[in-house]
Amino acid sequence: MSDLSPRNSKTIEYTSVGGQVYTLVLGTATGEIGVYRTILRQHAMDEEEAAEKAAGFTSADELDLRQASMRVLHTLMYPSMMSCVISQTGFEHWPLKYEEFKELDEELIAEWEVATFELNPHWRPVPQTKEAARKKATRSTRD
């Protein structure tokens, strides 16, 4: 990737129980970061659909809560959190594969998640209220 030059950034420093020190610099989304996130999301959705098909699921409604939570982590959280990393230290290799990401300490993931969505609130995977959806639709029709 080229120089991402975020408008705003946050730095996370975390030391694992085993003493490994991680530093992440996260940035606000640029067009390039947004496209990278979209590609990561599509790749994750394709992997999840293939795994569900191989397991014999015919719809996402058949997933149990653990499977559904892992799908959210893989298709929503992982792409957003990985795509806004401007620089990092402490990881053996980069970018992290999903299989490595999901094994990180929950405390690190939680801190990273909070910073990601503070910098990029439009990525937050929270259902919109009817009022927020109405305001967004009104703005879109005026533009």
Domain boundaries, the chain: 9-142
pLDDT in tens, 44-71: 999 999 988 888 876 666 678 888 889 9
SS3 state at 14: strand
**Which pTM was predicted?**
0.78
pLDDT in tens, 66-86: 888 899 999 999 999 999 999
Encoded tokens for 123: 């990525």
Q: Which residues contact 133 (CB under 8 A, 6 or more apart)?
A: none
d(CA 48, CA 62): 13
d(CA 83, CA 39): 10
d(CA 133, CA 65): 28
pLDDT in tens, 3-31: 555 579 999 999 999 999 999 999 999 99
d(CA 91, CA 6): 22
